[in-house]
C-alpha cells in the first residue's frame, strides 16, 4: 500500500501503560484527523509500547500547534513522538565503493518518485561511479582510504554529512568497515546492506563459496550500523531460492537483485517512520 499524498504520520513510543492507544486516537479525533492506517505493538517483555498512525486532517493543519498540544497529552505517558508532514523528503547521503547495482536501483526509485528522498551527495572510496552520479546531477565525493588514512577519510565523510544536512546515510555496498567513532555518530541513521547466506560466508566471493557448498537460498539483510560488523538492528531481510542448476554467476545475479530490493524496502520503511529502534532490536510496522 502506498502512502497518500495528503496524509501526515504520527509515531510514538512510551512505557507500557493503560490508555496509550486512546491518547493517540482520541487526540486525532479531536483534531479532526481521519486515521487511514494504524499500527501498534506492546512488548510485554520490554514493557514498551509503540504506535504509528497515518491520518488525513480535515482542512489545514498547523504542525507546530499540533506538536505543542499533543506534547501536553503525551507527557502523562512519558511518550516521545514525531510528526511527519505530507510531501516530506528526507535528506540523504549515499555511500558506495565499486558495485553499482544498489546505487542504480536507489537512483531509479528516487527519479520516479518512489522513494521520497533528497539525495544531497554520493560518497565513495573509488572514482568508478562518478559518471553515474553526474548523470543524475548529484555531487560526488571521491574520498580514497588506506589503513593509515582511515581517521582522516572518515572525518571528511562526516564533514559531508554535516554540511549537506543529511538525516540518513545509506551504505549501498560501501565495502569499508566504519570505525567505532563513526558508528556512534551515525547511530540510528545509517542503513547498511549485505548478503545473507547460510552457512555464513565471509571474505572474497561469498556467492562462489555458497555455490561450492550447494546452498539452496541466497538472501540479503538491511540493518542499522553499529560496532558489531554486519550485526546491527535488522530492518528487513529478503531471500531467493536457488538450486543445483544455478552457477556462481547466477547466484551473484540473484544476490544483486535481492540486495537492491531489500535495501530499498528498508530505506522506505525508515522514511515512512515504520521503524522503531528498541534496544538491539527493531519494531517494524510493515505496509
β-pair type (117-124, 90-96): parallel
How many other C-beta atoms can be found within 10 angstroms of the C-beta atom of residue 218? 29
Question: How would you classify residue 137: left for phi > 0, otherwise alpha for psi between -120 and 50, otherwise beta?
Answer: left
Nearest to 246 by CA among 214, 209, 199, 220: 214
Q: Does residue 53 sit in helix, strand or coil?
A: strand
Backbone angles phi, psi at 266, to 5 degrees: -65, -45
Q: Exactly one of 42, 100, 230, 257 is catalytic; which is it?
A: 230
**Does 230 participate in catalysis according to the annotation?**
yes
Spatial neighbors of 142 by CB under 8 A, at least 6 apart, are 124, 125, 126, 127, 130
Which residues are part of the catalytic machinery? 230
Amino acid at each position: 500500500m502506498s502512502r497518500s499524498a495528503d496524509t501526515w504520520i504520527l509515531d510514538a513510543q512510551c512505557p507500557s501503560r493503560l490508555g496509550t492507544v486512546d491518547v493517540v486516537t482520541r487526540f486525532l479525533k479531536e483534531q479532526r484527523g481521519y486515521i487511514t492506517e494504524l499500527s501498534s505493538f506492546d512488548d510485554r517483555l520490554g514493557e514498551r509500547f509503540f504506535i504509528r498512525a497515518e491520518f488525513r486532517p480535515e482542512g489545514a493543519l498547523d504542525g507546530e500547534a499540533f506538536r505543542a498540544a499533543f506534547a501536553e497529552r503525551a507527557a502523562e505517558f512519558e511518550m516521545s513522538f514525531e510528526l511527519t508532514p505530507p510531501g516530506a523528503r528526507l535528506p540523504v547521503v549515499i555511500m558506495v565503493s565499486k558495485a553499482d547495482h544498489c546505487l542504480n536501483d536507489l537512483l531509479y526509485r528516487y527519479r520516479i518518485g518512489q522513494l521520497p528522498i533528497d539525495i544531497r551527495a554520493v560518497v565513495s572510496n573509488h572514482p568508478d561511479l562518478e559518471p553515474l552520479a553526474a548523470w543524475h546531477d548529484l555531487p560526488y565525493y571521491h574520498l580514497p582510504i588506506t589503513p593509515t588514512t582511515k581517521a582522516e577519510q572518515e572525518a571528511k565523510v562526516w564533514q559531508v554529512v554535516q554540511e549537506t544536512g543529511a538525516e540518513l546515510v545509506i551504505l549501498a555496498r560501501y565495502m569499508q568497515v566504519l570505525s567505532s567513532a563513526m558508528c556512534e555518530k551515525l547511530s540510528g541513521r545509517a542503513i547498511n546492506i549485505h548478503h545473507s547466506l547460510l552457512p555464513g560466508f565471509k571474505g572474497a566471493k561469498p556467492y562462489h563459496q555458497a555455490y561450492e557448498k550447494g546452498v539452496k537460498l541466497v538472501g540479503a539483510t538491511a540493518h542499522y550500523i553499529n560496532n558489531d560488523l554486519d550485526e546491527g538492528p535488522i530492518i528487513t531481510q529478503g531471500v531467493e531460492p536457488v538450486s543445483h542448476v544455478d552457477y556462481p554467476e547466477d547466484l551473484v545475479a540473484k544476490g544483486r537483485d535481492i540486495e537492491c530490493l531489500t535495501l530499498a524496502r528498508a530505506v522506505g520503511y525508515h522514511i515512512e517512520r515504520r521503524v522503531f529502534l528498541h534496544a538491539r532490536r527493531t519494531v517494524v510496522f510493515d505496509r
